[in-house]
């Protein structure tokens, strides 16, 4: 069924946290506001569930080459990008540094638990990075470190679901507020269209997950979701087609242009599900359709975050 992947519609990434707060947050607010803290937590999860996974895959490929004594590695490995073992160093998961922050809410507790696993992983990641500077790392050491880092990675991702679940509703509320603020200050610009679609996509996934799980989902509801998402996608496409030379806030191609095609492919999977359901397709076919919807959303989500991280 639909996955419980974290909602990471990281508008802070394609606008930039500083730029976002400059136009959306009144100057009387402190830099470490609740919204700032949520955005930092969100950025941490986005990194851990995209770039860290990809870099870990690159590491595993390099490790396999070392064990096989491959003289021509199939993949280079340049590190994990987790920051050093010092807690005040540059790291995508540095939101916990604030000395005045109190860990008392369910979200805080889940975040703290996640960060403990993250910090347990960082020293092992650093050791791996240092070892793989060598062209021919020592195999016994490589094996030992691989066992350790695999264990630490498993621990990190075991703690991710609780953090994801605790963060989702606060982030949905924040994104909805930001969407209104963007429209008030900037109009329905590229950022509004991208955030609007990603918000609608997440809410649609949540609805499918909840109602299908309770066996209350109907083909008519799937059709309604498909129509609303297709309308939002078409509005965004029309906007960007009228501005072919538009660039993102950080320069280069707008994030929407990176996700437009996978977004349409995902929307089409909803239409397929609705059509098969209406024609009373076999349960196995409907199950495959739900899997396709799930996978299509995850692919779009991942490509979104990769495009956003690649710019900022």
280 backbone φψ class: left, alpha, beta (φ>0; ψ -120 to 50): left
Signed CA dihedral, 29, 34, 35, 41: sign only: positive
Note whether 163 and 155 are within 8 A (CB): no
User: Is the distance from CB of 122 to CB of 155 less than 8 angstroms?
Assistant: no
pLDDT tens, residue order, the chain (312 aa): 444 444 444 333 433 433 444 444 444 444 457 888 888 898 888 889 888 999 999 999 999 999 998 877 666 788 998 876 555 456 778 766 544 455 678 998 999 899 999 999 999 999 999 999 888 899 999 999 999 999 999 999 999 999 999 999 999 999 999 999 999 999 999 999 999 999 999 999 999 988 887 778 899 999 999 999 999 999 999 999 999 999 987 778 899 999 999 999 999 999 999 999 999 999 999 999 999 999 999 999 988 888 876 443
User: Environment class of residue 303 by beta-carbon count within 10 Å: exposed (0-12), middle (13-18) or buried (19+)?
Assistant: middle
Q: How far is CA 212 from CA 1, 30, 109, 248, 261, in A?
A: 8, 42, 30, 37, 26
DSSP per-residue codes, 25-81: S-TTS-TT-HHHHHHHHHHHHHHHHTHHHHHHHHHHHHHHHHHTT-SS-SS------
First-last CA distance in the chain: 33
* Burial (Cβ within 10 Å: 0-12, 13-18, ≥19) of residue 96: buried
Joined together, the tokens standing for residue 14 give: 């394609």
Q: What is d(CA 47, CA 34) in angstroms, rounded to the nearest whole number?
A: 20
138 SS3 class: coil
Contacting residues for 291 by C-beta, under 8 A, at least 6 apart: none
The pLDDT assigned to 89 comes to 57
Calculate the CA dihedral of residues 130, 132, 133, 138 and round it to 10 degrees: 100
Please report, for the chain, the start and end positions of each structural domain, with discontinuous segments joined by +: 26-187, 188-311
Nearest residue to 115 via CA among 82, 156, 80? 156
Of 164, 175, 70, residue with least CA distance to 111: 164
């Amino acid at each position: 069924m639909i996955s419980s992947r974290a909602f990471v519609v990281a508008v802070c990434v394609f606008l930039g946290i500083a730029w976002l707060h400059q136009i959306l947050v009144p100057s009387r607010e402190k830099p470490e506001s609740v919204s700032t803290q949520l955005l930092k937590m969100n950025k941490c999860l986005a990194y851990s569930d995209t770039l860290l996974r990809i870099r870990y895959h690159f590491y595993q490929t390099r490790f396999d080459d070392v064990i096989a004594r491959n003289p021509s590695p199939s993949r280079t490995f340049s590190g994990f990008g987790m920051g050093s073992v010092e807690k005040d160093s540059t790291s995508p998961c540095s939101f916990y540094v604030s000395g005045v922050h109190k860990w008392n809410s369910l979200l805080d507790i889940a975040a703290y638990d996640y960060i403990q696993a993250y910090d347990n992983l960082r020293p092992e990641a650093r050791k791996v990075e240092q070892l793989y500077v060598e062209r021919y790392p020592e195999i016994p050491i490589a094996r030992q470190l691989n066992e350790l880092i695999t264990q630490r990675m498993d621990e990190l991702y075991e703690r991710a679901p609780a953090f994801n679940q605790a963060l989702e509703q606060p982030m949905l509320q924040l994104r909805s507020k930001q969407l209104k603020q963007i429209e008030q200050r900037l109009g329905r610009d590229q950022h509004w269209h991208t955030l609007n679609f990603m918000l609608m996509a997440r809410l649609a996934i949540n609805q499918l997950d909840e109602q299908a799980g309770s066996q209350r989902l109907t083909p008519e509801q799937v059709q309604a979701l498909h129509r609303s998402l297709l309308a939002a996608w078409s509005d965004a496409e029309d906007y960007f087609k009228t501005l072919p030379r538009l660039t993102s806030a950080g320069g280069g191609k707008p994030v929407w242009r990176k996700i437009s095609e996978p977004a349409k492919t995902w929307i089409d999977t909803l239409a397929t599900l609705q059509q098969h359901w209406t024609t009373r397709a076999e349960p196995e076919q409907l199950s495959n359709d739900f899997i396709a919807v799930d996978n299509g959303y995850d692919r779009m989500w991942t490509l979104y975050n990769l495009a956003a991280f690649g710019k900022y």
